[in-house]
Amino acid sequence: MAEVKILTEHYHDDNYRTVDGYLAKNGYEMLKKALKMQPTEIITLVKDAGLRGRGGAGFPTGMKWSFLPNNGEERYLLCNADEGEPCTFKDRMMMERAPHQLIEGMIISAFAVQSKKSYIYIRGEYFYAADVLRKAIKEAYDKGFLGKNILGSGFSHDLDVYCGAGAYICGEETGMISSLEGLKGQPKLKPPFPAVKGYLAKPTVVNNVETLASVIYILRDGVQEYRKNGTEKSPGTKLFSVSGDVMKPGNYEVPLGYPLKDLIEKECGGLKPGRKLKAVIPGGTSAPVLTAEEAYKATMDYECLANMKSMLGSGAITIIDDTRCMVDLLGVITHFYHHESCGQCTPCREGTGWLNKIVRSIHAGNATVNDIDTLCKVADNMKGRTICALSDAAALPVLSFVPKFRSEFEYYIREGKSQVRGISYAQMHH
Amino acid sequence: MLKCTINGKHVEVKEGTTVIQAFKMLGEEIAHYCWHPALSVAGVCRLCMVEIEGNPRLQIACNTAVTEGMVVTNKSEKVKDAVKWGLDFHLINHPLDCPICDQAGECGLQDQYMKFGKYDPEMAEKKVNKHKAVDLGERVVLDSERCILCSRCVRFTEEISKTNELGIFNRGDRSEIGTFEDKPMTDKYSVNTVDICPVGALTSKDFRFKQRVWFLKDRPSVCPGCSTGCNVDVYYNREGFWRVKPRYNPNVNDYWMCDEGRDTYKYQNKFDTVVVGHRGEKEVMKNVNRVINPMHITGGHAEMMDVQFLLQKISEKLGASKPADVALVVTGQSTNEELSAIVSFFASKFDKKNIYHWQNEPEKWNEFDGLLMRGDKNPNTKGLLKVLEQNGVQAQLWKPSLTAGKLTIVVAPENHSAYKDFSAMVKWAGSGQSTIWLGPGLHEDMGMQGEWWVIPGKTTFEKKGSFENFNGHVQSFEPVTTVIDAAVSADEFVTLLKGANFLEIHKIYRNPVERVENQFIFERGEM
């Protein structure tokens, strides 16, 4: 097996980001096909294809769409392009290289859920991608793919880009909705779920960039063909953003269920010479870390990683080799979640800060061995106690780093320096 | 109706009821900070955790609706552990400055800690520092470090007073409550945020550092501030009244009351305590606020008298007067019982035409701010009009253009500040021959002209009686405590005129407690 380029087939072509270049590669053909179908047909197709959300949770997309109530209320489709999960950079490439792919996918999806208005909520730092998207949307309007009565089908749709302000929490779907409504970016209580009461209290679907783009290829290839890639429960291909200590980091599109070992050694050219694999974070920093042993056994699909008590998440794979100190890395992660907690729920607001402070005191040499247990206890009690999953995201790395690399933490506390690097935090950073 | 089981007790609830409401209905204990029955659900304190049969994850009771056959408990070890940790997360950055905190004694954190906590803290790190003693406006002070960010106050200004003045600024454990651009709060209901604040983050400028709450007692009463008649709890000790808090009544004021109504205890106290001077050289001045002794004043010279003796004199005076020479002035600040006693007494002896109604800005009476405050600053205007009607009296408006009677009985309003024309009318009353003044408050012009009989009146919190509010809701109340020993209400005044013994009335209406000037010394003894 090797890379299977479905989404990324034409990404090498610089012209692909313009409407002409996109049309030259049979772009917007599937839109024409979709507009002739019944909306429910498309939903059934997506359901049968088993497409799962590519943003992190892996929730079946077709199912999400069918949750919308049939009460005649206005519906909204939101594209989540916030991509805040550390080490993820697949959506950025998709939007920069193939904006029309996303736009086409969104119009098809909007048609399927019968939404007249959709927004792309894009991460604040993605200036260039937002620029590319805005240009592409203008082109699509000019060509009649957006606006009133699209291609004479009677279906009208408007699309807009909305830039976030750089908060991680706005990648959570209800946080994103709050932000889009002009409120403080804080997740909302569920129930009601966005499918019932979302943006402006109207039924709303929120999907990731990659999910929406994938809809085109389900339509193009049909269910049978689409399911040829991937596993029974995780069909299709997925983009993985590989970063860290490999020779060729980058975005790779492989079928789900692809062995992690192959991805590291074949696609990414293996580790740097003389280095050994120590750990892998398989789904963005909020996913529990895998040890080298586990990583070599893992296949990149939702089920296998769930069995290993980790998760596929956004598909951001961070490779950690034996020169990295896990105590330092955990410090980076806890600092991030402390900085990004929205502060709504008490366990997360106080807990993320507490975790970070304990790790910092380990770095500073002020901690005792008991603090390791406190660290785990705090993380354990933050898990599953809040409105959104940020608290879990902050707790899970702690609950995997500490038990799996406990000796490194104990060494750090005992000796006041890193076991791997042989120097203290202060020496390393000054 | 849905059937569910809560902590082993079976209960039937209406559809749409949340689990926490079901707990409250049964009187089951459940910890919570952010949930408030009158506000929207925020679900952020994460303390009202419950275990629902068939659900492996603990759920928050405030955002979970009861379903048919639901079996819920919060007595399991799992829930207890979650609540303990929930409390721990609340406390790790809390300054724990209870000894100097004004909320101590009525603090949610203290209560929960005594119920669920009682353990040593595991937090060994430095606490987060935030702003202390932030001035939020005329009446409220914020201590951000004590704040647990339950967002009740924010939701109050959003949903109830609708001024949207408060917000949570910043993110994570740097979050703080504040007003936009640090503008002072102008909310007319701002002290409600102090009431609903479960901790000592928001404190009332008026009450803070005055008394420890465990030295105060509270009794229910009705606010005399306006015709809404909010139900209140009055906190008092033997020195007098210290604060007024709203008492829940869904038919009148729900959980709230206005800031103006909270000041009504001030004029009812014996002394008006004023702090004069700047920092470092502050001096506490005690201005006498009330008529303390019955007085007979002529030409600016006051003669203190025993109430029984004074009444005897008045009785003689009234008996010697021609019915047409005596006038009665009443206001909507007296209770129904007082009014019917005095009006029927007057009607039976004197001329009904000489009954006057003293009104404060009647053109504003129909004003309403949409929540509680009404333009009619009399708690019992409706009751007064009914009493007058029952006695067949067509009361005239009392104003200076009328000729002053030879003898005017004024049942004065207790809340002077609501009567813009108070000074003018006191002067006016003096221009007649003689005035019998029954009222709790003092005024410098009293007795400057003419002959005055001043009888200390009782205030609302000292009275037993009833008020009829703007929409005909009659609310009766009992005395909270007595501040002025010699004070009599108008109905007692009539009883006394009819020949009753003051000491008899004293027995009936007073609670025989010894009052002291300094409660602290009284409790602790001289040091």
Q: Are residues A128 and A272 located together in one domain of the fold?
A: no
What whole-number distance in Å separates Cα of residue B352 and Cα of residue B365?
26
Contact B122 A352 (CB under 8 A): no
Which two three-digit tokens encode residue B506? Answer: 């004293």
B290-509: CATH architecture: 3-Layer(aba) Sandwich (3.40)
Residue by residue, pLDDT tens for chain B (527 residues) are 899 999 999 999 999 999 999 999 999 999 999 999 999 999 999 999 999 999 999 999 999 999 999 999 999 999 999 999 999 999 999 999 999 999 999 999 999 888 877 778 788 899 999 999 999 999 999 999 999 999 999 999 999 999 999 999 999 999 999 999 889 999 999 999 999 999 999 999 999 888 899 989 999 999 999 999 999 999 998 888 999 999 999 999 999 999 999 999 999 998 887 666 666 677 777 788 899 889 999 877 889 988 888 988 999 999 888 888 899 999 999 999 999 999 999 999 998 888 999 998 889 999 999 999 999 999 999 999 999 999 998 988 888 766 556 888 999 999 988 898 898 888 888 777 888 999 998 888 887 888 899 999 999 999 999 999 999 999 999 999 888 888 999 999 999 998 888 877 765 444 444 444 555 555 555 44
CB B206 within 8 A of CB B264: no
> CA of A150: how far to CAs of A28, A40, A54, A65, B414, in Å?
12, 19, 28, 22, 74
Give the mean pLDDT of A19-48.
Answer: 95
Asked if A330 and A300 sit in the same domain, the reply is no
- Work out the end-to-end distance of chain B between its first and last CA atoms, rounded to an integer number of angstroms: 62
DSSP letters, B108-158, are HHHHHHHHH--S-----SPPPP---SEE-BSSEEE-TTT-----HHHHHHH
| Dihedral over Cα of B492, B497, B501, B502: its sign | positive
Tell me: do A185 and A255 sit in the same domain. no
DSSP tag of B49? E
Contact of B436 with B314, CB cutoff 8 Å: yes
Residue that is last in its domain, among A227, A247, A278: A227
SS (H, E, C) A146-215: CECCHHHCCCCEEEEEEECCCCHHHHCHHHHHHHHCCCCCCCCCCCCCCCCCCHHHCCEEEEEHHHHHHH
Greatest CA separation found in chain A? Answer: 73
Given this model, what pLDDT does residue B405 score?
Answer: 64
Q: What is the distance between the alpha carbons of residues B223 and B379, in angstroms, rounded to a whole number? A: 8
Token pair, residue A201, equals: 């209290």
pLDDT of residue A1: 54
Task: Give the number of C-alpha atoms closer than 13 A to the C-alpha of residue B184, restricted to the C-beta side.
Answer: 8
Query: The domain that contains A254 carries what CATH number?
Result: 3.10.20.600
Cis bond upstream, residue A194 (ω within 30): no
Same domain, A295 and A336: no
Is A8 inside a domain boundary? Answer: no
From the CA of A168, how many Å to the nearest CA of chain B?
11
Comparing CB atoms, the residue among A189, A343, A361 nearest residue B173 is A343
Number of other residues whose CB lies within 10 A of the CB of residue B492: 26
Do A196 and A257 share a structural domain?
A: no
- Give me the residue spans of the domains in chain B: 2-91, 290-509
Q: Which one of A227, A254, A273 terminates a domain?
A: A227
- Nearest CA distance, A419 vs chain B (angstrom): 24
Q: Do the domain assignments include residue A6?
A: no
**Mean pLDDT for chain A?**
94
More confident residue, B508 or A203: A203
> Is there a single domain that holds both residue A344 and residue A289?
no
Is there a single domain that holds both residue A315 and residue A331?
A: no
CA distance B113 to chain A (A): 16
Question: Tokens 């506390």, residue?
Answer: A413
Q: How long, in residues, is chain B?
A: 527
From CA A312, how far away is CA A258, in angstroms rounded? Answer: 12
Residue A359 domain flag: yes
Which chain A residues have any C-beta within 8 angstroms of a chain B C-beta? 167, 184, 189, 191, 338-347, 349-354, 357-358, 361, 371, 374, 377-378, 381-382, 384-387
Residue found by looking up tokens 């009649």 in the block: A144
- A223 and A250: one domain? no
Mean of pLDDT values over A109-124: 96
d(CA B192, CA B136): 13
Classify residue B457 by its DSSP letter: B
Total structural domains within chain A? 3
pLDDT of residue B508: 47
Q: With 70 as the cut, is the pLDDT of residue A406 above it? A: yes
Question: Cα Rg for chain A, rounded, in angstroms?
Answer: 22
Among residues A187, A205, A227, the one where a domain terminates is A227
Shared-domain flag, residues A308 and A335: no
Residue A59: inside a domain:
yes
Q: Do B44 and A384 touch (CB under 8 A)?
A: no
Q: Do A156 and A301 belong to one domain?
A: no
CA-to-CA distance for B296 and B446, rounded, in angstroms?
Answer: 11
CATH code, A151: 3.40.50.11540
Q: What is the ipTM of this complex?
A: 0.92
**3-state DSSP assignment of residue B244:** strand
Give the least confident one: A14-23, A200-209, A267-276, B299-308. B299-308
Structure tokens at B95: 């300054």
In a domain, residue A232? The reply is no
Domain check: are A380 and A294 in the same one? Answer: no
In a domain, A222, yes or no: yes
Same domain, A305 and A164: no
Q: What is the pLDDT of residue B523?
A: 54
Cα angle B11-B15-B16, degrees, rounded to a multiple of 5: 110
Query: A300: domain range?
Result: 237-321
pLDDT of residue B527: 44
- Which residues on chain B place their C-beta less than 8 Å from a C-beta of chain A? 41-47, 49, 57-58, 63, 81-82, 85-86, 88-90, 92-93, 122-126, 128, 148-149, 167-168, 170-175
Query: Nearest CB to B86: which of A191, A346, A361?
Result: A346
* Residue A3, domain member (yes or no): no
**Record: fold of B2-91:** Ubiquitin-like (UB roll) (3.10.20)
